[in-house]
Amino acid sequence: MLHTRLTLTLGTILAASLPAAAAPDFAKDIQPVLENSCVKCHNDAKAKGKLALHAKDKALKGGDTGPAWVAGKPEESLLIKRVLLPETEDEAMPPKGKGERLNPGQVEALKQWVAAGAVWPDGVVLKEKEVRPPVDPKDGENLVSISVFPPAIGLETKRDSQNVIVMAKYADDTTRDVTKKVDLTVANPALVKQTGTSFAPVADGETVVKASFFGKTAEVPVKVASATAERPISFRLDVMPVFMRSGCNTGSCHGAARGQDGFRISLFGFDPAGDHNRITREMGSRRINLALPAESMMVEKCTGAVPHTGGKIWEPGDQYYNTVVEWLTAGAPNDDVAKVAKPVSMEVYPKQMVLEGADVTQQMTAVVKYSDGTDRDVTSLAVFMSSNAPTASVDQNGLITTHSRGEAFVMARFATFTIASQVIVIPKNLQYTRPVVAEANYIDKLVNDKLHKLRVIPSGDCDDATFLRRAYADVVGLLPEKADFDKFMARTEPNKRELLIDELLGRKEFIELWVMKWAELLQIRTNPTNQVSYKSSLLYFNWLQERIANNVPMNKIVQEILSANGGTFSSPATNYYQIEKETLKLTENLAQVFMGMRIQCAQCHNHPFDRWTMDDYYGLAAFFGQIGRKPSEDPRELVVFNSGGGEVKHLVDGRNMKPKFLGGAEPDLKPGDDRRASLAEWLASPQNPFFAKNLANIVWAHFFGMGIIDPVDDVRVSNPPSNPELIEELGKKFTEYNYDFKRLVRDICLSKTYQRTTRVNDSNAQDERNFAHSLIRRLRAEVMLDAISQVTDTKNKFQGLPLGARAVQIADGNVSNYFLKTFGRAERATVCSCEVKMEPNLSQALHLLNGDTTASRIGAGKVVETLLKGGATPEAVIEDLYIRCFGRKPSASEIEGLAKSVNETPDKKQQALEDVFWALLNSKEFMFNH
């Protein structure tokens, strides 16, 4: 109150004394103040408090609390009152933290100007003053180039505008966001209006936007079309993106199956027609009000005018509010689905950045292309997420801020697209020079390139003994025998590792290991509920083994499986369709196994973290719509054939779906054509961008314990490959090798990357995803059981297999034993890569300690007894055991210590040595491949 009175008095005095002073000049005294301090928030686009101050009529129309001023009466003018309020008041302008307070001279000028009648020259429109940071000469050092994003600008209709981003690249491959620092100009300003870094159409034509920075220049073409045309607001193109951006249609809010508080819209907007109906007509007048759009419940909830569990999500006058209110004002029209443009692709820029230091920012921009050829800047409508916020976080406007060293993927989601960009954060002023590392082949080059970007130094080579054991376990699923060890260690050829790999690749155990892996993915197992008999699963397994053993290319095998017809006995590949009979399950398995994609989500709604829509899902499912199954003479056999009829219907609208390859084209199929044959041909071909890469990644993951995309069957935009170039190249090679994965294995095993030691250095200790060092991996269940049998000289007996068969050879997923179960052998109940459990747990440790697998086998195999009988000294026995179990000789101190304790009880040497054996089997070094 006191304050008001004071203001009044001041105002009165001022008003009285005014005529003496010359009225301030608008352009000189007033415009700079408003442009510096007010227009940033009070403009057409933002209009905080519904007030815009960039044009006279807008200012006088005023905002929530009335017009900005009353000409001639500074004491009654809100503009003056607000700038005079103390900073602590909520209504003080500029608000705390949003700008500096006006100085007394500025306030005085405003007052006098209002008092003198607030003269505003006709047609003058104010623009936010660009606050450009001072030129920093450091930005020019080592500058290599600058790039402007997006690489081309299309401006269509009055509503359109595009913000550009300029990124500078430096000699050390780091990048900086220099958008606010560069000089941006339009070649032909008659066509395009520039506001800061934003460009809007003026007249049709083509021109360029030029950027220059420390002598480097870049330009992007601008094409303006329909510059003066109005674009009516569209429910699908304008309103629904607001729901997505505001989080309305997420699973935790109104996108939940039952909605929230009685209001449901489709999850991430998979059902626009249904959403329109629910918003406008489901509850008549409750949700929207066409007469008074701003008083619609939907609007009042979002602005927090009425209680909303989801909180206040729009500010009256902001972009989202305006879009929805404009749509309601227009009568909440639905789109003509036949005419409305559809988004066809999205790009996010920059695609890759290497940022130096913490608290560095980089703005992203997202551009969507539509089916009518137009594009739009959707940065303000996309949802941004970071895969690794501790390294690089992203705010809702797409501004990345760096934190600790590492790599993150920043994703933008809009409509059905999710696009990721790679962000690498390296410490500031890091002492780093790229090491010179030997490279065996393309794999090493690509891995090292990535490590260089991360400023990570790879570990060195492992020793021969480690390599030998690693290669045996990985390639053939066995441990090297003593003879193998001795032979390899004695070899002197410089390429002895290559020779070893070639030798191992030629062994039948190599085939068996991969047959087992495929049997897991194909779920080969007896299954009473699906009437999969032991006979048919055995036939299926044998068929697979025969194919792989004969080096049939993988694509041929997959094609044979998918297009298989005939009896499950006579044509075992048909078992694929007996093991799984549900069309949708078949579809999902197909995508997961052969393309590494989990598309299950898209059964009920568009995939939330990937590009797959329900249309994609049911389009793929349609390939399995015409599978015929009939019994054969043998009740255990089923005959699979192409029935030539049957359709798969879309869940939402029940329409028949045309078969469409996932992410590909619609094949030209005639009625009666075998849809599966067409699918098989496409799936295992270079036309399918996922097949080769996926198989290569599965192979890769086997040798590194970590996929380039990990897990291997969760390929999605939001789970990007750690090294896109590498997986691309592996896929390409695999195709070049005619899908012969043996050659791919050879490339991998010969790479320096595979042969790295597990020892880490300072720079790569934290890294697990970029193969800077080898990972310590537990032996998988089958290999471990086989290894135990191998080192203890004992034999296993599995159902259906001869005594002494290896666990790797088990055909039926249902055949198992306690050991295999405990160590996480795949049950083959699903196609998930998670079926094989590699995590150590307590029961595993207890079983090895106390179970019959170790202790009794040590006794039964009589290894120690035989050695002793053969006249070996305890030291020799210990060395033998070490080589058996660890693939290396014991160190001097090991042998000394162990021999000492064995020799302490000369009468119980065998038992003592067997205890040593037991201890070795229980050691981590045995259980892990390192």
Partner 1 sequence: MKRLLLTLAFPAAAGFTPAFGEEKINFADHVRPILESACLNCHNPDKKKGGLDLTTYVATMTGGSSGEVVTSGNSADSRLHKSIIRPADPAMPPQGSPLSAKEVEIIAKWINGGLLETATGVAKKAKKPAFDMQIASVGTGKPEGPPPMPENLLLEPVVRTSRASATAAMASSPWAPLVAISGQHQVLLYNTDTLELAGVLPYKEGFVESLNFSRNSQLLCAGGGRPGKNGKVVVWDVKSGRRVIEVGEELDTVLASDISADQVYVAIGDSSRRVKIYNTATNELVKDIKKHTDWVTAAQFSPDGVLLASGDRAGGLFVWEAKSGSEFYTLSGHTGGITAVTWRDDANIVASASEDGTIRLWEMNEGKEVKKWNHGGPVLSLNFTHDGRLVSCGRDYKVKVFGQDGAQQAEAKDFADLPQAACFSNDGSKFIVGDWSGAVSVWNAKDAKKIGEMSAAPPTIDERLAVLKPEMAKTESTMVEAKTAMGSMASGMAEVQGKMDKSKGAIMAFSTTSAEVEKTLAGAKAAAAELLARLNTPMPATPPAPDPAKPSMDMGTAVALAKDYKALVETAKTSVGGLSGQIGGMANDFKAMPGQIAGHVQAVKSSEATVAEMQKKQAEAQKTVEAAAAALDGHKKSVARWEAAKVNVTIFQRREELAKLTAKLEEAAADLADREKVIASTPAALAAAPEPEKAALQKKLDAANAGLAELKKSKADLDAQVASTKTAIDAETAKYLSMLPK
Q: State the minimum distance, in angstroms, from the CB of residue 288 to partner 1.
A: 8
Please report the DSSP string for 325-371 in residue order. Answer: HHHHHTT-PPP-TTTS--EEEEEEE-SEEEEESTT-EEE-EEEEEET
| Nearer of residues 66 and 331 to partner 1, judged by Cβ | 331
- Rounded to 5°, the CA angle 558-521-722 comes to 95
CB of 791 to partner 1, least distance (A): 59
Cα-to-chain-centroid distance, residue 758: 27
Evaluated on CA atoms 732, 738, 739, 742, the torsion sign reads negative
Rounded distance, CA 303 to CA 400, Å? 27
Continuous segment of H or E residues that includes residue 850: helix 842-850
User: In the complex with partner 1, which residue's Cβ is closer, 309 or 429?
Assistant: 309
β-pairing, 143-149 with 638-642?
unpaired
What letters, b where the CB count within 10 A reaches 16 and e where it falls short, cover 14-37?
Answer: bbeebeeeebbeeeebbbebbbbb
308 or 658: whose CB is closer to partner 1? 308
Q: How far is the CB of 296 from partner 1 (least distance, A)?
A: 9
Q: Of the two residues 54 and 287, which places its CB atom closer to partner 1 in the complex?
A: 287
User: Which residue, 306 or 430, has its beta carbon nearer to partner 1?
Assistant: 306
Q: Helix 691-704 vs helix 554-562: angle between axes, to the nearest 10 degrees?
A: 120
| Of 304 and 711, CB closest to partner 1 | 304
Q: Give the Cα separation of 392 and 12 in Å (integer).
A: 55
Q: Which lies closer to partner 1 via its Cβ, residue 233 or residue 443?
A: 233
State which of positions 272-311 bind partner 1 (CB under 8 A).
280-281, 284-292, 295, 297, 300-301, 304-311
Nearer to partner 1 by Cβ, of 81 and 455: the residue is: 81
Shortest CA distance to 605 belongs to which of 597, 593, 617, 594?
617
Residue 601 · residue 588 · CB < 8 Å: no
- Amino acid letter, residue 273: A
Contacts of 924 (CB under 8 A, 6+ apart): none
Our CB check for partner 1 shows the closer of 281 and 900 to be 281
- Nearer to partner 1 by Cβ, of 152 and 305: the residue is 305
Q: From the CB of residue 553, how many other CB atoms can be counted at a distance below 10 Å?
A: 16
- 462 phi and psi, to 5 degrees? -80, 165
- Taking the least distance from each CB to partner 1, the nearer of 258 and 670 is 258
Three-class SS of residue 828? coil
Contact 385, 413 (CB under 8 A): yes
- 74 vs 76: CA distance, rounded Å: 5
Q: How far is the CB of 256 from partner 1 (least distance, A)?
A: 15
**One of 3, 96, 312, 759 touching partner 1 (CB under 8 A):** 312
Site string for partner 1, 84-123 (x = CB under 8 A): ------x---------------------------------
The answer to whether the CB of 124 falls within 8 A of the CB of 26 is yes
Q: How many CA atoms lie within 13 A of 438 on its CB side?
A: 9
Judged by beta carbon, residue 14 or residue 332, the one nearer partner 1 is 332
Residue 230's CB is within 10 A of a number of other CB atoms, namely 9
Structure tokens at 416: 């059905």
Give the binding-site size for partner 1 (rule: CB under 8 A): 28
Q: Which is nearer to partner 1, 261 or 666 (CB)?
A: 261
Distance CA 641, CA 645 (A): 11
Asked if residues 370 and 341 have their Cβ atoms less than 8 Å apart, the reply is: yes
CA atoms within 13 A on the CB side of 919: 10
Q: Does 336 bind partner 1 (CB under 8 A)?
A: no
Single out the residue of 105, 251, 331, 686 in contact with partner 1 (rule: CB under 8 A): 331
State the amino acid at position 174 in one-letter form: T
Q: Least CB distance from residue 335 to partner 1, whole Å?
A: 16
Q: Would you say 244 and 383 are in contact if contact means Cβ atoms under 8 Å apart? A: yes
Q: Is the Cβ of residue 39 or residue 302 nearer to partner 1 in the bound state? A: 302
Q: Which sign does the torsion angle of CA 279, 285, 287, 292 carry? A: positive
Pick 212 or 334: Cβ nearer partner 1: 334
* Strand ranges (E), 214-325: 216-225
Please give the Cα distance from 774 to 758 (Å, whole number): 4
Residue ranges binding partner 1 (CB under 8 A): 90, 261-262, 280-281, 284-292, 295, 297, 300-301, 304-312, 331
